[in-house]
Each structure stands twice: as C-alpha cells, then as structure tokens.
A and B are shown apart, each in its own frame.
Chain A
C-alpha cells in the first residue's frame, strides 16, 4: 500500500536565492486528513505547489504511488485537487459552469460526462443551480465553495487547500468546515486557523523556516504551548 503523498528530502530555493524548503519529508496515508501550520513565510504554500509539480525542487515527491516527473505531471495534476487561497485566482472563467467544467474538460472527458461532473460537484458543495452565475457576483463563501467544486469535478484522490477559511465570516467558515469533514478525499490543508485544526484534523505538521519542526497527533501539539509559541502560533 503506497502513501497518497510521499515527500522525501525536498529542497527548494526561489530564483532570487532565498531558500524556501530545506529538506522536507513526510507521508500521508490514503484517506488521512492532515493540517499544516506555521508562521507566514514558513514555506507552507511553496510546499503545496510542489505537490502537483507547479514548482520542482530537489528531492522526491510521489503522489498516489507515482513519482513526480515530466511523464507523470498530467496524471498527478488530475489526482491532486489544488484549492488556492484567493478564489478570484481560481475562478477565471466567465461563468460558474465554465469554471467547474474546466478541469474535466482538460482531462479529455466526453461532454455529457463533463456536464454530469459539474452537476455532481456543485451539488457536493451545496451550490447546485448556480451554473449560470457569473463569478464576480458571488459572495466570498460561495466563491470558496465553487473553488472547491472546480477541483472536485476532476474527482481527485487528494485535496490540497491553502488557507481555506481565510476571509470567511463565521457562518461561511462553519459551513466550510462541515464540507471538509464530509469530503472523503485524502486532505492536506495549510492554515492559521487552529480552532479548525482542532476540530477537523487528527494529525498536524508544523513548519517553520523551510523545515518540518513537528509532525504528530494534533492533541499532542495543542498540549504543548511552548512548541506553538516557538513557531508563532497560539493555543486556540
């Protein structure tokens, strides 16, 4: 049985020479939901961008048993559903339908199948019937849900979310947490929202300055306020 995500000794520096990842290793089992926390600039977003080969550092990244390489880039991008922090970046099409259909269409599915996927994905996030809406006219909470639908339509094995609760009001946040709990996919979520972490994730990875500082049960981490404090986090 392979891990859904396996990262081994990943090293990456930005073109300006700034080191962002300095030997990151971890594995995530199929169906596991893991949070990744740490201060701004810890390298969380950079790490996430490696999981579908947008950034390519030294070291080994395997997703769903396939080692990331030029040959596996296509299948890996369909297997990893990446939800970005700002839904305005993710929703780039004129209508909600076009946006949700984008992924399946590029997977080369026949049109009736794409339409069916769009309907199912929008229903899964509770946004059925918004097909012809224009992205600009949606609220932040709706945009977030539809951003998640755009990747669910690709039927990914792994969901990767970057700060999903940022900028949401309490009700939208609550709805989103419920949605994330219901989704069956393997999940890696980068966040500052430790209350959500406490509710939703059994395992938490702490990153700081480009390395994994701690990786274990969320309960243990939350019981160690000194570890949290050392990495700019607060006990919820």
Chain B
C-alpha cells in the first residue's frame, strides 16, 4: 500500500519542468513577494501578474484547471481576512443587524477583502506550479542554493521522506480498524440493547489510541533511522555535495523574470502606492 497522491510533482515534458529548480524556486518566491508588495488597488498590475501566472500554467502543461482546482484548497485561509469586510471604515453598503449590534459592510472593506483574496490566490498558484513542476529533491537543492540553513533543509528532506511512510502506516491502522468493525445480526432477546459501532466516547477513545500508537511508532522509527545514520558515520554535521553551476540559459530566464517582476512592482508602487 503506497501513498502517491500526496506528492504534488507531475512529470511532464515542458520548458517549465526542464528549468533549473533553483531558478524556479527564486522566481516563485520573487513572484509571491511582488504580489504581496504590490499596493492595494493596483488592479492592472494584478491583472498582469495573473496573466503571467496563467501563461506559466499553460506553458507547464499542467493546465489552468488543474492549478485552479488545487488553489481552491487555499480558500479557507482567505476567511482570515473576513473581518476586514466590516472593520474597515468607509461608505456603508449593507447593514446586518445582529442582536444589539449592527455589522456594517463597507465598500472599502469589500475592496480590501478582495485584495487580500486575490493576493493569496495568486501566491498559492505560484507555489502549486513550483511544487508540481519540480521534484522535491530539486526543491531541497534550491533551498540549499539560497542558503537556507543545511540542518533545516535536511529536516525538510527527512520530513518529506517519512511523511509517506507515516501516512502508509496510518492507512494500515485504519484498514485494520475497518476490518474489525463488523456488524453482527442482533439476537432477538438483545434487540435494541446492543450498540453497533459503540458509543461516541468509546469510538473517540479508539481513535485517540490509534493516534497515540502512530506517535509511538513514529518515535520508534526515528530512533531506528538515527541508528542507521550513525552506522554510516553520521556525526551530527549535515554534509552535502557542492552544487552544479546554473546554466547560462537558466540564468537569462532568472534575470529576465526578476526584471519583469521588479518592473511590475515598481510601476504598481509609483502609480498606486
């Protein structure tokens, strides 16, 4: 039993996939920074950023639909900005009486909310394209290349490696529970007194026990992994290969991409800032 669906990487023959992971990583971060720094109300700039994102999605072969479906996962986070609708002072559009309180939805609040929503929606798309077009080991290399501390990168690597193993283990536990959660036909004299599935409290206890057992297994496994690392000479220091230089073609893409993003940010700040 293997879990592959968690791995967002989709292998496709596209120029986006072929581009050096380090360049993609830097460009994606720069894109997200540009999106977050573009001032409120600079709609034309947002439109341009969206068109860049959509072009990359089409170019990558992932398809706009695929990315947008995945991006909808980020929608609940937009709700964090929900209070903005009512707390921003301005022209009142709508009044909601709420007991003794009245919530006033303002035009400025609505704009501000839309702005936050667009920002997060665009940023999430960049992250999705990055993760779907770059194998995770390449992302780790990219993190090393931009000088994220090695220990942290090594931890990301281990987490990614064992996330799947852990999910497999959880699935096995749940399958074992399901396999023993049969129903019996109730004998007549106990009619209505047997409780199939047990009480809610009992089921909660079983679920809690499963979570605990998963935790213990994870701790045990981490011990065994550490022993395996020690056996091959691990001494507490993270060592890795020197990185290959970035090809000149990828460099050109990097510089061009950064310039476009920089220009967009600059025009946004100058005109609407």
A92 close to B229 (CB less than 8 A): yes
B227 close to A49 (CB less than 8 A): yes
A-B contact count (CB 8 A): 78
The 18 sampled A-B contact pairs (Cβ below 8 Å) are: A52-B231, A77-B230, A77-B231, A80-B231, A84-B227, A86-B224, A88-B165, A90-B228, A92-B161, A92-B229, A94-B136, A94-B137, A105-B240, A132-B137, A134-B135, A136-B7, A137-B2, A154-B233
B241 close to A111 (CB less than 8 A): yes
Judged by a CB distance under 8 angstroms, whether B52 is at the interface is: no
Chain B residues at the A interface, C-beta cutoff of 8 Å: 2, 4, 7, 135-137, 140, 157-158, 160-162, 164-165, 221, 224-225, 227-235, 239-242
Query: For chain A residues 51-65, which have a beta carbon within 8 Å of chain B?
Result: 52, 54
Across-interface contacts of B225 in A (CB, < 8 A) = 89, 92
Describe B's contact surface by its main secondary structure: helix
Across-interface contacts of B160 in A (CB, < 8 A) = 94
Across-interface contacts of B233 in A (CB, < 8 A) = 74, 77-78, 103, 106-107, 154
**Complex Cα spacing A7 to B240, Å:** 35
Nearest residue (CB) in A for B3 is A136
User: Most chain-B CB neighbours within 10 Å: which of A52, A86, A93, A132?
Assistant: A93
B137 to chain A, nearest CB (A): 4
B242 close to A106 (CB less than 8 A): no
B228 close to A92 (CB less than 8 A): yes
Across-interface contacts of A77 in B (CB, < 8 A) = 230-233
B84 to chain A, nearest CB (A): 40
Nearest residue (CB) in B for A136 is B164
A127 to chain B, nearest CB (A): 17
Query: For chain A residues 127-141, which have a beta carbon within 8 Å of chain B?
Result: 132, 134-137
Q: Which of B164, B165, B234, B242 contacts A111 (CB 8 A)?
A: B242
Nearest residue (CB) in A for B242 is A111
Q: Which of B2, B224, B242 contacts A89 (CB 8 A)?
A: B224
A93 close to B231 (CB less than 8 A): no
What interface size band does chain A fall in?
35 or more
User: Most chain-A CB neighbours within 10 Å: which of B140, B221, B225, B232?
Assistant: B232
Nearest residue (CB) in A for B227 is A54
Judged by a CB distance under 8 angstroms, whether A95 is at the interface is: yes
A154 close to B232 (CB less than 8 A): yes
**Complex Cα spacing A127 to B141, Å:** 24
Nearest residue (CB) in A for B4 is A137
Chain A residues at the B interface, C-beta cutoff of 8 Å: 49, 52, 54, 74, 77-78, 80, 82, 84, 86, 88-95, 98, 101-103, 105-107, 111, 114, 132, 134-137, 150-151, 154
A209 to chain B, nearest CB (A): 24
Across-interface contacts of B136 in A (CB, < 8 A) = 94, 134
B239 close to A92 (CB less than 8 A): no
B234 close to A89 (CB less than 8 A): no
**Complex Cα spacing A177 to B4, Å:** 31
Across-interface contacts of A136 in B (CB, < 8 A) = 2, 7, 161, 164-165
A39 to chain B, nearest CB (A): 21
User: Most chain-B CB neighbours within 10 Å: which of A80, A82, A84, A136?
Assistant: A136
Across-interface contacts of A103 in B (CB, < 8 A) = 232-233
**Complex Cα spacing A98 to B135, Å:** 14
Across-interface contacts of A154 in B (CB, < 8 A) = 232-233
Nearest residue (CB) in B for A153 is B232
A85 to chain B, nearest CB (A): 9
B231 to chain A, nearest CB (A): 4
**Complex Cα spacing A101 to B239, Å:** 10
B2 to chain A, nearest CB (A): 7
Using known A-B contacts A54-B231, A102-B232, A103-B233, determine if residue A93 contacts B161 with beta carbons closer than 8 Å.
yes
